[in-house]
């Protein structure tokens, strides 16, 4: 199945507005999906016998910096039986001055492996995943302040009396 065929599967099911763009310049092309449809698109790509993307190999949170103001989640899907890979991306502008975290729908109900991947993106980038069953820190202590992979993050000088370099 080609990249164009996969795009057609998505647009046939969800309409042209489901795909808001595409990136074809890198080693692996990516489809930019409307953020509110990500869980539905993943479910369709997993269950459709033409695509059968049965494995979420990686999920990554990305902070595009203060100037851009955008947060992104990147999904790397694999179809083990068809030996295909696909990258999906969702993003939205987020006001950094807001108390609320940037928020996207969870795909844990589609891919169980998303459980820890989403927790890591929450822990390190500060992305909230709506509908996640147990969204809490996974790598850092529960009382850690801030999100270390954000572009505007500054290290605390001390943590519980221990100097941090």
116-162 pLDDT, tens digit per residue, is 999 999 999 999 999 999 999 999 999 989 899 999 888 888 888 88
Average pLDDT score over residue span 96-106: 91
What domains appear along the chain, each with residue ranges and CATH number? 3-163 (3.30.460.80)
pLDDT confidence of residue 9: 96
Q: Which residues contact 88 (CB under 8 A, 6 or more apart)?
A: 30, 31, 32, 33, 38, 41, 42, 74, 75, 77
For 9, 10, 19, 75, 92, the CA distances from 16, given in Å and listed in that order, are 11, 8, 6, 20, 19
Arithmetic mean of pLDDT over the chain: 94
pTM for the model = 0.93
| Residue 165 reports pLDDT greater than 80 | no
């Amino acid at each position: 199945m080609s990249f164009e065929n996969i795009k057609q599967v998505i647009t046939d099911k969800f309409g042209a507005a489901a795909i808001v763009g595409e990136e074809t310049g890198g080693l692996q092309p990516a489809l930019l999906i409307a953020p509110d449809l990500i869980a539905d698109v993943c479910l369709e790509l997993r269950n459709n016998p033409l695509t059968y993307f049965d494995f979420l190999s990686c999920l990554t949170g990305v902070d595009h910096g203060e100037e851009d103001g955008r947060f992104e989640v990147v999904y790397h899907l694999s179809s083990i039986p068809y030996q295909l890979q696909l990258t999906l991306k969702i993003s939205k502008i987020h006001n950094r001055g807001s108390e609320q975290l940037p928020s996207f729908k969870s795909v844990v109900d589609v891919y169980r492996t998303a459980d820890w991947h989403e927790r890591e993106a929450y822990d390190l980038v500060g992305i909230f995943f709506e509908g996640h069953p147990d969204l809490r820190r996974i790598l850092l202590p529960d009382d850690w302040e801030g999100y270390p992979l954000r572009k505007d993050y500054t290290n605390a000088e001390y943590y519980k009396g221990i100097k941090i370099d």
